[in-house]
Amino acid sequence: MGMMKDDAALLALFEDLALAAGAAIMSHYETGFEVEQKADASPVTVADRAAERVILDGFAKAGLGTPCVSEEEASGGVIPACGDGNFLLVDPLDGTREFIERRPDFTVNIAMIRAGAPALGVVYAPARALLYSARPGVAFEMQVGAGAPQARREIRARPRQTPPVILASRSHCTDETHAFIARHPGAETVSIGSSLKFCMIARGDADLYPRYGRTMQWDTAAGDAILRASGGTARTLDGLALTYGPKNGAGLEAFVSPSFIAEGAPASGG
C-alpha cells in the first residue's frame, strides 16, 4: 500500500478523489448526455465513466496497489483477484437513474474492505454538496464549498424511534418493501436514492432501510462503512452482518449482495 499506511491519510485520499470525481460528474449534469444500457439493462453515462477514471487514476498516482473492483470496469469484465486480503470497492456514480432524471440524490462511493468488512468509506453527493466519510469508530458529515470540505462534524446513529422513519429506494421499491413498511404502523416513509439512505441513518435522521432484491457490493460498501462507524448496522434477512468479497459465482455474480435491513443504534440496554 506504499506510504498510505495511516487510516486518516487513506481516508483523506478517498475524500479528495470523491470530490474530484464529483466535479467530473457535475460537468455533465446540466449539459446533456447520452444514456446507454449495460448488459444487465442498467443505465450508464459518460459521467459514470469519467468519475471512475478520476478515481482509478488517483489510486495509481498515489501508489495505492490495493486491488480495486469498480462498477464500470467490472461490468466490462475487468475484475482483479481479491482473495481474502484488503481490496477496494468503487461505485463512481451510485444512483445513475437519479442523475439521469436530474434529481440530486446520486453519489460517489469509495470503500476499503478488510477481512470481509467495510473499514473505510466515503459517500459524496455533489449535487447536495454533502460529503460523508468514516474510519473505524468515527463517521463524519461535511458541507462542501469551493470544491473542498468545510465544517466537519461527527455523526452518530440514533436508537430506533417508535414509530420509525423508514427509508425506501425510489427506483427499487418492491412488494417485500411495502410489506415491511406495513409491519410498522404509523411509520414515516421517505423515498431517496443511492447510498444517502445509509448516511441518513448514520446522521440520526432515520431508523430503518429495508432493501429487498439484487444489489451489488459496490452499491452498499461505502454507506455500510459509514453506518457501522456511526453505531448502526446492516444485516441480511438471517440477521448476519453484510460481508464483502467474491462469493459463489463468476464475474459480476460473485459481487451480488443479499437482501438486507439497515438500521440505527440499538436501543438503550439492547
Looking at the domain assignment, is residue 160 inside a domain? no
For helices 7-29 and 46-61, the axis angle rounded to 10 degrees is 150
The rounded distance, in Å, linking the Cα atoms of 128 and 104 is 6
Total Cβ atoms within 10 A of residue 228: 25
Looking at the domain assignment, is residue 13 inside a domain? yes
146 shares its domain with 31: yes
11 shares its domain with 130: yes
Q: What is the pLDDT of residue 181?
A: 95
Whether 140 and 153 have beta carbons less than 8 Å apart is answered as yes
Looking at the domain assignment, is residue 220 inside a domain? yes
Residues 6+ apart with CB under 8 A from 175: none
Residues in the chain: 270
53 shares its domain with 135: yes
The rounded distance, in Å, linking the Cα atoms of 68 and 28 is 25
Final residue before a domain boundary, out of 93, 119, 154: 154
255 shares its domain with 200: yes
Looking at the domain assignment, is residue 230 inside a domain? yes
Final residue before a domain boundary, out of 122, 154, 186: 154
The rounded distance, in Å, linking the Cα atoms of 70 and 91 is 6
Mean pLDDT in runs of 10 for the chain (270 residues)? Answer: 70 97 93 84 91 98 96 95 90 94 95 97 97 97 90 95 91 86 96 94 98 94 98 98 91 94 82
146 shares its domain with 14: yes
18 shares its domain with 150: yes
Q: What is the pLDDT of residue 5?
A: 59
Looking at the domain assignment, is residue 270 inside a domain? no
78 shares its domain with 112: yes
Residues 6+ apart with CB under 8 A from 133: 11, 14, 15, 120, 121, 122, 123, 139, 140, 142, 226
93 shares its domain with 216: no
Looking at the domain assignment, is residue 2 inside a domain? no
Whether 94 and 116 have beta carbons less than 8 Å apart is answered as no
198 shares its domain with 83: no
Looking at the domain assignment, is residue 27 inside a domain? yes
255 shares its domain with 230: yes
Quick check: helix, strand or coil at residue 61? helix
233-236, strands of its sheet edge to edge: 188-192, 165-169, 208-211, 260-263, 233-236
Whether 225 and 242 have beta carbons less than 8 Å apart is answered as no
Looking at the domain assignment, is residue 204 inside a domain? yes
108 shares its domain with 147: yes
Strand partners, 117: 114
Q: What is the pLDDT of residue 269?
A: 52
Final residue before a domain boundary, out of 120, 154, 188: 154
Q: What is the pLDDT of residue 117?
A: 97
Q: What is the pLDDT of residue 89?
A: 98
- The CATH number covering residue 212 comes to 3.40.190.80
- The CATH number covering residue 97 comes to 3.30.540.10
147 shares its domain with 15: yes
What domain count does the chain have? 2
The rounded distance, in Å, linking the Cα atoms of 67 and 83 is 10
Owning domain of residue 22: 7-154
